Amino acid sequence: MAWELEAFARSIGGRSRHTVRAYVADVRDFAAWVDRGQVRGPAQVDRLLLRRYLAYLSTRRYARATVSRKAAALRGYFAWMARRGVIDTDPAARLRASSGNGRLPRVLDRAELSVLLDGVPAQVHGDEAVRLRDDAVLELLYGSGLRVSELCGLDMGDLDLRGRTVTVVGKGDRQRRVPMHDRCVRALRRWSLEGRSRMVRSQSPPEALFLNARGNRLGPRDVRRLLDRRAPHPTHPHALRHSFATHLLDGGADLRVVQELLGHASLRTTQVYTHVSKERLLSVHGETHPRA
């Protein structure tokens, strides 16, 4: 009760539902961590404790972006508590995660993509519905550059197979329409017409495009397990989005077009992929040029 997480969630209700869920989970994780040290509420938290928590996250090998998001959640939470007068001072004011060294996104090569998109592991050979779903999921993630959360939130009505587009609700509840290539359309048509009905259960949401083995809406964890089955090497679902953007730029796509396809609010976010492409160009030059 002391942390008032439900009230905090309502206070940030103007953000996307994914951000609200993540921020509340971040504060809940922090509350559980400080509870081990007998800290029972926000009034007992000071800046040193917050910095120790961020350091702890770094030692647990959380990605820098994840630690930065958790710091942002804590800043928002303690600022809200201070505005309400629940705490006298805001211990999280100007709290920042350590900058560290940014990691460039991993880009899948053609051989990896061939195995991932075209190979079918032995454990799913006997389950045609699962194979059809997995094919459609992977083609969408790589072929249209969707975020995993966007893919999991898709409804049947979001697909326009005739027009070869999918309507996506991204961060900040911004909506965009993304094109699909022919193989993606074929995979989605087969899943919709042949596979989905085999996975529907009595409690299945009728509008959900993708379902898991229990008949519920497909979730991010289900997608990670899917990739564990299909990928030749450990692969994070976001690597497919990174690969989509990088391969477009390598093929000559305009940066602003890629920004629009990815649903980035700022061009600066998209520019990381130009760095990836430059790294690849330098690598190819160094490996192939006789004077390199």
- Is 238 catalytic? The answer is yes
Taking the chain, what is the end-to-end CA distance rounded to the nearest angstrom?
A: 64
Three-state DSSP state, 159: strand
Cite the DSSP H helix spans in 125-181: 128-143, 148-152
CA proximity to 263, closest of 153, 114, 103, 123: 153
Tell me which of 52, 190, 238, 280 is the catalytic residue: 238
Tell me which of 147, 196, 217, 247 is the catalytic residue: 147
- Is 171 catalytic? The answer is yes
Tell me which of 171, 190, 236, 280 is the catalytic residue: 171
Q: 289: which 2 tokens?
A: 């040029």
Tell me which of 70, 75, 230, 264 is the catalytic residue: 264
Q: Using CA atoms, how far apart are residues 19 and 11, in angstroms rounded to an integer?
A: 12
Q: Using CA atoms, how far apart are residues 121 and 180, in angstroms rounded to an integer?
A: 25
Q: Using CA atoms, how far apart are residues 73 and 79, in angstroms rounded to an integer?
A: 10
CB 220 within 8 A of CB 250: no
- Is 273 catalytic? The answer is yes
> 256 Cβ partners below 8 Å, 6+ apart?
267
- Is 264 catalytic? The answer is yes
Tell me which of 70, 241, 242, 247 is the catalytic residue: 241
As annotated, the active-site residues are 147, 171, 238, 241, 264, 273
